[in-house]
Amino acid sequence: MRHVVTGGAGFIGSHLIDRLMSTGANKVVCIDNLQTGSKKNIEKWLGNPRFELVEHDVREPFHVEADQVWHLACPASPEQYQKDPIGTAETCFLGTLNTLSIAHRCKARLLFTSTSEIYGDPLVSPQQEGYLGNVNCTGPRACYDEGKRIAETLVFDHARMHGTSVAVARIFNTYGPRMSSSDGRVVTNFISQAIQGKPLTMYGDGLQTRSFCYCSDLVEGLVALMNSGHKGPMNLGNPDEITIRRLARIIRDLVNTQAGLTNKAKPEDDPQRRKPDITVARKMLEWQPVISLENGLKETIADIKAQLETKQVLTKVS
């Protein structure tokens, strides 16, 4: 099959490409403007006749042939998507519309990666797919939260109007190797600070919760959803809930550091709880995460340690 992966040079996108290329038969076209992605994430496939990298911004129309379209393109961490909030909203709307046009023309199936952020700061927990959310449409996170919501609207309207085969995955916090050590997310922040012996920065009291899914588990969920014929929306994530304070302690222990904790003000609209209900995924896909948080963090710590060491070398050379 011929797969098109937008955002394929990013964290999750590159792991998905690894999975698709591993069959030895698929052809993969990676569409990425490299705003937050990196060629390093896909370097092992560069030069492979079954792989093609197209440097392109999905906000602009593009032409490509596909059997399956995986639409992942969008900055994903608050630090990244708030740098250019209008650009983030454009990526969600225009990028999704352009990608849907490709899928419709090719009669391909499209999987759109939405986010748990469409639930906002939820008033119910765990979050089920039927929950309509509690989102501030004028806040600093709205470019991403509302951007993904309008993108979901486009996906389902396209299916209703044009018969496009679609699927929507609502991704909960995912972590693993190839996350940028400076992307501003809690896992990378804590690990980078712990490795460098710096105090781990918690925003608020650290009692807010998240549920962390390892990247390989998520990719298996995405593949299962794409091949299932199910439209969704479907939650994909790990239902094991943990406080940010507890996460900090686990990471300190794994890094073997005595670094302390420090507190800063909680960002506006930062959700207090995040826990997916994955009943639908378990039933429809027979899918659930299998990688423990500790094992996943060990792999992530090793990767970020290597990133930081590389930065130190480059700094000395320059």
Active site residues: 144
Cα separation values, 254 from 32, 242, 295, 297, Å: 34, 16, 10, 8
Residues paired with 174 in a beta bridge: 213
- In Å, what is the CA distance from 160 to each residue of 67, 99, 104, 109, 213? 20, 16, 12, 14, 32
Q: How far is CA 216 from the centre of its chain?
A: 12
DSSP code at position 134: B
Q: Dihedral of CA 201/7/1/177: which sign?
A: negative
Nearest to 8 by CA among 49, 117, 35, 26: 35
Nearest to 162 by CA among 97, 68, 232, 70: 97
